[in-house]
């Protein structure tokens, strides 16, 4: 427990509660790579920033291409490892990605910040140095580079487009991507359309004429909302029904995948998209990955699976681990809630973090970045009566107040008239794409740091194998009993219960070897005080630990050996690496 408490204190502060020297460095010492986190990076600039970090820190960072997007953009991964402390595949690794949905852009900035923070503070903040020495980080900043480019370069809303840019016939008319949003007034934004009518279901808010409110049942409004800006480009009587892409890259993963008529946007089959296939191939070729973090927006959530109730709850042994990390996450991330996707949000079939846990046995989280509660750093008072109209309007009022007082009115387009070819006289207005789901630039660095801190806490809690003790007892005639106390010094087990039940990874190994030594017997010891070893039938020099080692716990193994000289005891874990200790037989 002391290890846990010490680790938590260090990670929560990441040096902010350390010595005066560190504080002076943070304020006064220039960064080797002075990246700015009060801006958003388009995809070429984001890739260039990672390449700049690679050039500045060639020992620790390399940037590789793991695949191509639909439109041919490179899908990059940044790999952070200290080669002086061992090869990457012999260490527990943290996989981090962002921006699988094209419009959910700030995940890319959090990924960039994480790499930058680790590299810039190596050798300066003890905890960061320890993490870089002992762990590996695989960072895919943008899983959907086409979607990011489209969102940056084209008129969009804050919610469009989630998709990638593989042409898709969403309305089944034989045409592809032929009827998307149109920037009717040419202002560079896709806003809403409204029309004044005698019997409407919306009305202008009496508190702020820029806001619309739904009228209660039995009352009559004077407006209807017509959706986002657009016209009937293909003459089929529908508007905006077949825009670019139109699928969901986060429904294309193998676990609980369902076809499109069950799960909209799932794709033709699991991993049918080049981006998801490239990521899956990378993860499966790196079995040392022991933690997964995916960044989305928005809502202020720390999410875990299952994504569908039909899957059932996860094994309680693993839920305890999830709960501990999630609870700490709520402390690191004010205004974020730790939630279960299927129970607390909605059903997701074929989701990424459900696949990495259910299919691979890796503890995995999705963070939904940014929350409307962060506008004025407060949550609304709890109310037993659920009035969605009042709640919606209250959130809109807060958002408008934030726009007026903090953003100087820059996030809203005032309603103005427009002559529509189908609807006639309408008005266009509403929120710009840089509002709502995307944090304002002045708040971006704090968002990046706190989410980085949560992910580094998760990374620190990945398995940390250790050999606490090796003892030798002579039994006579050159025969010895060797006992090793093996440990896992972090809360994540070396083998999750999900992985154990479904045989998703090889067992851990307890090994003994020596040049002049013959291993006569060996096996685990359930009770170290009774010293009752359960001998394995074959290859006693290599004891299979099929259950692994639980978090913050020890396991004892023993061998009977014959010989002289030194023996080496090793603990070899797929998701933790290998540790060794040498002793002399005497």
Nearest to 579 by CA among 505, 500, 493, 488: 488
> What stretch of H or E contains 141?
none
DSSP letter, residue 459: H
The CA–CA distances, whole Å, from 431 to 117, 159, 468, 550 equal 33, 11, 59, 49
d(CA 361, CA 137): 18
pTM of the model: 0.94
- 165 alpha carbon, distance to own chain's centre: 22
- Paired residues of 510 in beta bridges: 543, 571
Sheet holding 553-563, edge to edge: 465-476, 479-488, 553-563, 517-525
How far apart are alpha carbons 110 and 74 in whole angstroms?
19
Q: How far is it, in rounded angstroms, from Cα 3 to Cα 10? A: 11
336 in Cβ contact with 450 (< 8 Å): no
Q: Tens of pLDDT along the chain (586 residues)?
A: 444 444 444 444 444 333 333 444 556 688 999 999 999 999 999 999 999 999 999 999 999 999 999 999 999 999 999 999 999 999 999 999 999 999 999 999 999 999 999 999 999 999 999 999 999 999 999 999 999 999 999 999 999 989 999 999 999 999 999 999 999 999 999 999 999 999 999 999 999 999 999 999 999 999 999 999 999 999 999 999 999 999 999 999 999 999 999 999 999 999 999 999 999 999 999 999 999 999 999 999 999 999 999 999 999 999 999 999 999 999 999 999 999 999 999 999 999 999 999 999 999 999 999 999 999 998 866 655 567 777 888 889 999 999 999 999 999 999 999 999 999 999 999 999 999 999 999 999 999 999 999 999 999 999 999 999 999 999 999 999 999 999 999 999 999 999 999 999 999 999 999 999 999 999 999 888 887 899 999 999 999 999 999 999 999 999 999 999 999 999 999 999 999 999 999 9
**Kind of pairing, strands 337-340 and 301-304?**
parallel
- The kind and range of the H/E element at 538 are none
Query: ∠57-464-549 over CA atoms, to 5°?
Result: 155
3-state helix, strand, coil in the chain (%, to 5): 30, 30, 45
**Res 381: pLDDT:** 65
Strand boundaries in 45-86, DSSP class E: 61-68, 74-80
* Residue 389 pLDDT: 74
The pLDDT score that the predictor gives to residue 448 is: 99
Q: Which residues of 272-308 are buried (b: 16+ CB within 10 A; e: fewer)?
A: ebbbbebbbebbeebbbbbbbbbbbbbbbbbbbbbbb
What pLDDT, on the 0 to 100 scale, is given for residue 394? Answer: 86
Cβ burial of 254 (10 Å; 0-12, 13-18, 19+) is middle
pLDDT computed for residue 27 by the predictor:
60
Find the helix or strand (DSSP H, E) in which 25 lies. Answer: helix 20-28
Q: Please, which residues have CB within 8 angstroms of residue 227's CB and are 6 or more apart in sequence? A: 192, 193, 239, 240
Contact 381, 304 (CB under 8 A): no
Measure the CA–CA gap between 306 and 342, rounded to whole angstroms: 6
* Contact call for residues 161 and 242 (beta carbons, < 8 A): no
- Distance between CA atoms of residues 483 and 170, nearest Å: 65
Domains and CATH numbers, the chain: 2-150+248-370+439-460 (3.40.630.10), 169-244+387-431 (no CATH), 465-584 (2.60.40.10)
In this prediction, residue 382 carries a pLDDT of 64
β-pairing, 289-297 with 363-369? parallel
Determine the Cα angle at 388 with ends 383 and 389, to 5°: 115
Would you say the C-alpha torsion 51, 55, 59, 64 has a positive or negative sign?
A: positive
From CA 132, how far away is CA 88, in angstroms rounded?
11
441-460 vs 2-13: helix axis angle to the nearest 10? 160
């Amino acid at each position: 427990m002391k290890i846990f408490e010490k680790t938590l204190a260090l990670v929560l502060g990441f040096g902010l509660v350390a010595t005066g020297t560190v504080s002076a460095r943070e304020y006064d010492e220039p960064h080797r790579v002075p990246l700015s986190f009060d801006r958003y990076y388009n995809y070429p600039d984001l890739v260039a920033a990672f390449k700049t970090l690679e050039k500045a820190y060639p020992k620790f960072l390399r940037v590789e291409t793991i695949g191509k997007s639909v439109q041919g953009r490179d899908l990059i991964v940044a790999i952070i490892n200290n080669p002086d402390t061992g090869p990457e595949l012999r260490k527990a690794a943290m996989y981090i990605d962002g921006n699988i949905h094209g419009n959910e852009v700030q995940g890319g900035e959090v990924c960039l910040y994480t790499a930058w923070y680790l590299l810039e503070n190596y050798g300066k903040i003890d905890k960061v140095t320890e993490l870089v020495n002992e762990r590996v980080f695989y960072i895919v900043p943008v899983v959907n580079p086409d979607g990011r480019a489209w969102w940056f370069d084209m008129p969009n809303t804050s919610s469009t487009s989630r998709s990638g840019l593989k042409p898709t016939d969403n309305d089944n008319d034989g045409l592809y991507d032929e009827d998307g949003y149109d920037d009717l007034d040419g202002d560079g934004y896709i806003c809403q359309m409204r029309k004044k009518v005698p019997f409407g279901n919306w009305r202008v808010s009496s508190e702020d004429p820029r806001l619309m409110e739904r009228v209660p049942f039995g009352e009559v409004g004077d407006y209807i909302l017509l959706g986002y800006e657009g016209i009937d480009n293909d003459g089929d009587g529908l508007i905006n029904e077949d825009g670019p892409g139109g699928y969901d890259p986060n429904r294309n993963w193998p676990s609980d995948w369902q076809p499109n008529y069950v799960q909209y946007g799932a794709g033709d089959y699991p991993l049918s998209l080049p981006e998801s296939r490239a990521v899956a191939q990378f993860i499966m070729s790196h079995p040392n990955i022991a933690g997964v973090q995916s960044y989305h927006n928005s809502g202020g959530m720390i999410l875990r699976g299952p994504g569908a109730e039909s899957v059932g709850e996860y094994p309680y042994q693993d839920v305890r681990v999830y709960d501990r990390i999630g609870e700490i996450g709520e402390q690191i991330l004010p205004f974020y809630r730790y939630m279960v996707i299927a129970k607390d949000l909605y059903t997701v079939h074929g989701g990424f973090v459900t696949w990495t846990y259910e299919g691979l046995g890796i503890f995995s989280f999705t963070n939904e970045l940014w929350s409307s509660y962060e506008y004025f750093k407060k949550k609304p008072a709890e109310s037993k009566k659920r009035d969605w109209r009042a709640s919606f309007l209250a959130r809109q009022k807060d958002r408008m107040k934030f726009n007026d007082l903090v953003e100087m009115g820059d996030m809203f387009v005032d309603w103005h008239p427009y002559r529509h070819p189908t609807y006639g006289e309408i008005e266009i207005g509403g929120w710009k794409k840089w509002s709502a789901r995307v944090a304002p630039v002045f708040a971006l660095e704090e968002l990046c740091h706190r989410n980085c801190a949560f992910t580094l806490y998760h990374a620190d809690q990945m398995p940390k194998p250790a050999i606490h003790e090796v003892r030798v007892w002579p039994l006579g005639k050159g025969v010895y009993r060797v006992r090793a106390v093996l440990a896992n010094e972090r809360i994540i087990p070396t083998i999750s219960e999900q992985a154990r039940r479904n045989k998703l990874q090889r067992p851990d190994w307890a090994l003994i070897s020596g040049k002049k030594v013959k291993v006569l017997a060996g096996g685990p010891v359930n009770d170290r005080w009774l010293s009752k070893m359960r001998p394995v039938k074959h290859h006693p020099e290599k004891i299979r630990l099929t259950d692994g080692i639980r978090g913050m716990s020890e396991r004892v193994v023993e061998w009977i050996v014959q010989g002289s000289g030194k023996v080496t005891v090793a603990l070899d874990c797929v998701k933790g690496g290998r540790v060794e200790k040498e002793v002399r037989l005497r």
